[in-house]
Structure 1
Amino acid sequence: MTEEAQDNVWPLPKFYFTVKFGSQDKTISFQEISGLGTETQPMEYRHGDGKQFSTIKMPGLTKGGNIILKKGVLVKDNNFFNWYDAIKMNTIKRETVTIQLLDEGGKPIMTWRLTNAWPTKISSPDLKSDANEVAIETLELAHEGLTTELET
């Protein structure tokens, strides 16, 4: 990396991001997203005639946890509850979910793509008569794969 290129490197803030569901061009605003990660489980193996009395570890199945999205409750917006209510035994509308971290100009810098995502849990906001906060609902998504792309 050249010295000039090093001068233009800084960490990105995490507060400027977009979320899109399926092939929609519509961006849905969320306050918070967590759980964007995957884990590869190790498999242990040892040759029967191996000279070492220990196992070797190889990569096994990859799994990802659920993604949790939080957003403000909007008037006349019941889309996530409708999606959740559509769950029947072994049938659900699965979506590709695209989450993009943006730079100060609105250009995508990092993209996370969830494959075959579907709602596994929805939580309504807690209600409190003396609260001075926005009502926040939580959507938890299960998925079958998470890919990460870094824009250059």
Structure 2
Amino acid sequence: MATRSNPYGAFNFQVEFDPPPTGGDPIAAGFSDVSGLGSEVNFSDYREGSDADNVARKIPNTHKTDEVTLKRGLIGSTEVFAWFKEVRDGAYAPRRVTITVLDESRNKVLALQLRNAQPRKWIGPALAAKGGGEVAMEELHLVHEGIEYVSL
């Protein structure tokens, strides 16, 4: 990825769901919002009795990942909900999810992959007959086992 002086816009991106490892089709879905892309390393304190400094060393151990939230306007496609239902009904159905940032010319410039992502929560649209003209939105909350930058 080439560096540049101006940051990329947060509004040009794609979300792709790979097919499950057991076979099947990828999910085709467009989203208007992606949030929660983060990871945190846990550390353990460790000190040997012979250490000259009276301070504990910080030793990295496990890491945890943040829950990723995807939002989109309700379009009538049920693929996302079907995946949620599959997991809700007890299936182990992880997928690799790739979030790709695009530049102004819609060229791929950066990709982040969520490893073994699974749906944890689905939120349907809030419906109100107020005549406000809001878009019916649904949310999908994903848990995953790691996030990585991918070379393009």
Q: How would you bin the TM-score normalised by the shorter chain?
A: 0.7 to 0.9
TM-score scaled by structure 2? 0.86
Q: CA deviation at 1:62?
A: 1.4
Q: Which amino acid aligns with 2:11?
A: F
Q: CA deviation at 1:92?
A: 2.3
Judged with a 3 Å threshold, the aligned counterparts in structure 2 of structure 1 residues 103 and 28 are, in CA distance, closer, same or farther, namely same
Q: Could you tell me how far apart the structure 2 residues matched to 1:145 and 1:100 are?
A: 16
User: What are the superposed Cα offsets for residues 102-140 of structure 1, whole Å, 9 maximum, x if unpaired?
Assistant: 011211111110111110000001111113210000000
RMSD over equivalenced CA pairs, Å: 2.0
Q: Which amino acid aligns with 1:143?
A: H
Contact 1:38 1:64 in 2 (8 A): yes
Matched position secondary structure for 1:81: helix
Runs of 4+ in 1 over 3 A off after TM superposition: 23-27
Q: Structure 2: 5+ residue runs without aligned partners?
A: 20-24
Identity %: 31
Q: Structure 1: 5+ residue runs without aligned partners?
A: none
Matched position secondary structure for 1:36: coil
Judged with a 3 Å threshold, the aligned counterparts in structure 2 of structure 1 residues 42 and 149 are, in CA distance, closer, same or farther, namely same
The answer on 1:22 being equivalent to 2:22 is no
Q: CA deviation at 1:149?
A: 3.1
User: What are the superposed Cα offsets for residues 34-86 of structure 1, whole Å, 9 maximum, x if unpaired?
Assistant: 011111112211012222221011222111011100000012x1111111111
TM-score scaled by structure 1? 0.86
